[in-house]
Amino acid sequence: MSAYGADLLALLPELIIAVTACLVIALDPITPASRRDLLAWLSVGALVICLGITIGQINSVNTRVSAFSELVVVDAYARFWKILLCSVAGLTILTSLPYLKAERIHLGEYYGFILLALSGMMVMVSGVDLLTIYLGTELMSLSLYVMTGLNRSKPRSLEAAAKYFVLGAFSSGILLYGISLLYGLAGSTKLASIASAIGSRGSDDPLVLIATILVAVGFGFKIAAVPFHMWTPDVYQGAPTSVTAFMAVAAKAASFAAFMRVFVEGLGGLKADWSLLFLLISVVTLVLGNVVAIVQTNIKRMLAYSSIAHAGYALIGFVAAGRGVGLSGGTPGLASIMIYLAIYSFMTLGAFAVIGMLRKGGIEGEEIEDFTGLAKRQPLAAFLMLIFMASLAGIPPTAGFIGKFYVFMAAVEADLAWLAAIALVFAVVSAYYYMRVVMVMYMRDPSPSSVAPPRLVTSPTLSFVLACAVAGVILFGLFPNPLVSFALQSVLTLK
């Protein structure tokens, strides 16, 4: 037992989250409905402790510590993502509290599932063994399937859960197949062994290429890259809004984190091949995401396509990393993805928090038209939404510009100025649909009808979430230095 002591201590944050998840699920049946808030606060408490420990590790453990016979590592790269994921999970719980009550689906196990998904994500970002990463992915996905179908009275929610489950299981199968092929040629599922096996077999081995493509497809589903994006709009629209926010932000960030580690540490020898593959995927992703978002009338669906497009932008950083030459290698590209996703998290969470607040009578107002004239009725909320939309469109001085700036900087450095130009042209396309939300809020008067106009239901926790989100969007836009240097330092531990 003492042999595992150090290993367990390294994984203390993950353990706390997993134990709290079980505790919440166990306590739920014996907690009276009126006191379910306590479960949420218990979860938030665990997240704060976990965040504290992870931040405390920044100075004490600077090196890469591996645990459990090198199945997982604790390094700066993993810590960057853990801090981001824990913050996102905490903000999601605070958004969910009022939202679930308003939707009458305030169930205690919901918080347990968020924590379970989070522990899966934390394993994903720190795993250096394909099977560990796979287990983390499955833990995350299974929790998300359940959360998507949480609103049992809504057929759309159930449909979304079923769709998500079928396609998710399918993609996991493909990922697993790729992993098994890699195991076949390396004799191990450890990323380091795979890297050395590829180094000795060369990159033109068809088996290596097929395995790489299968793994890429598997992750492509998780990050919702075209052509593996089909599930995204339906699932984002059908899931409860707080779950959608969690999926769009945390699940995407964790999948990107694991994906980057697998391709850089395990399949780095093939970067010439995969950078070409991801070049194609990133272009079609951002083109399709942005173009299809234009015609959406449901704001959750629109943000689903926009999240697809944002995955395309982040992938540009990955292509640049694969093409990276010289001393700095791929670091600017990889760091740009981390910066991009961190900023994306804040603005997307903020946007979904506003959407979750909007009530049309008893139900959720999720059509873009429901925002008509919001600036007149609730100027502050409309102004916050304006900031989130401007940031999503990448207009300075919001953080969204900083995110795009670093991605395009990496692309131009890797001699991909034309790719940056294409991506920026489609950023203009995206500005059209983001600004349409602003237009509806500020420039249209609500049609005079007998129905009461949709209104926002506020609560202290939601105000806190919105304050955090808008602070992130503005502060990282004006003073990006801390985030940038943190990302640049963290990415160095990725070998």
Nearest distance in Å: CB 325, another protein: 12
Establish if 481 lies at the interface with another protein (CB under 8 A): yes
Residue range at the interface with another protein (CB under 8 A); choices 175-183, 195-203, 315-323, 402-410: 402-410
Binding another protein by CB under 8 A: which of 405, 456, 463, 475? 405
Binding another protein by CB under 8 A: which of 435, 456, 474, 475? 435
Nearest distance in Å: CB 444, another protein: 8
Nearest distance in Å: CB 440, another protein: 10
3-class secondary structure per residue, the chain: CHHHHHHHHHCHHHHHHHHHHHHHHHHHHHCCHHHCHHHHHHHHHHHHHHHHHHHHHHHHCCCCEEECCCCEEECHHHHHHHHHHHHHHHHHHHHHHHHHHHCCCCCCHHHHHHHHHHHHHHHHHHECEHHHHHHHHHHHHHHHHHHHCCCCCCHHHHHHHHHHHHHHHHHHHHHHHHHHHHHHHHCCCEHHHHHHHHHHHCCCCHHHHHHHHHHHHHHHHHHCCCCCCCHHHHHHHHCCHHHHHHHHHHHHHHHHHHHHHHHHHHCHHHHHHHHHHHHHHHHHHHHHHHHHHHCCCEHHHHHHHHHHHHHHHHHHHHHHHHHCCCCCCCHHHHHHHHHHHHHHHHHHHHHHHHHHHEEECCEECCEHHHHCCHHHHCHHHHHHHHHHHHHHHCCCCCHHHHHHHHHHHHHHHCCCHHHHHHHHHHHHHHHHHHHHHHHHHHHCCCCCCCCCCCEECCCHHHHHHHHHHHHHHHHHHHCCHHHHHHHHHHHCCCC
Binding another protein by CB under 8 A: which of 427, 469, 473, 491? 427
- C-beta of 269 vs 333, nearer to another protein: 333
Establish if 279 lies at the interface with another protein (CB under 8 A): no
Binding another protein by CB under 8 A: which of 8, 55, 276, 428? 428
Binding another protein by CB under 8 A: which of 11, 343, 484, 494? 484
Establish if 337 lies at the interface with another protein (CB under 8 A): no
Binding another protein by CB under 8 A: which of 45, 56, 202, 379? 379
Establish if 313 lies at the interface with another protein (CB under 8 A): no
Q: What gap in Å lies between CA 423 and CA 316, rounded to an integer?
A: 9
- C-beta of 79 vs 436, nearer to another protein: 436
Binding another protein by CB under 8 A: which of 95, 175, 480, 494? 480
Binding another protein by CB under 8 A: which of 38, 131, 291, 424? 424
- C-beta of 26 vs 380, nearer to another protein: 380
Q: What gap in Å lies between CA 46 and CA 254, rounded to an integer?
A: 19
Size of the site for another protein (CB under 8 A): 35
Nearest distance in Å: CB 332, another protein: 9
Establish if 26 lies at the interface with another protein (CB under 8 A): no
Establish if 432 lies at the interface with another protein (CB under 8 A): yes
- C-beta of 363 vs 417, nearer to another protein: 417
- C-beta of 283 vs 420, nearer to another protein: 420
Establish if 395 lies at the interface with another protein (CB under 8 A): yes
- C-beta of 239 vs 375, nearer to another protein: 375
Establish if 421 lies at the interface with another protein (CB under 8 A): yes
- C-beta of 191 vs 374, nearer to another protein: 374
Establish if 401 lies at the interface with another protein (CB under 8 A): yes
Cα–Cα distances in angstroms (integers) from residue 3 to residues 71, 73, 375, in the given order:
15, 16, 61
Rule CB under 8 A: which residues touch another protein? 375-376, 379, 386, 390, 395-397, 401, 405, 408-409, 412-413, 417, 420-421, 424-425, 427-428, 431-432, 435-436, 438-439, 442-444, 480-481, 484-485, 488
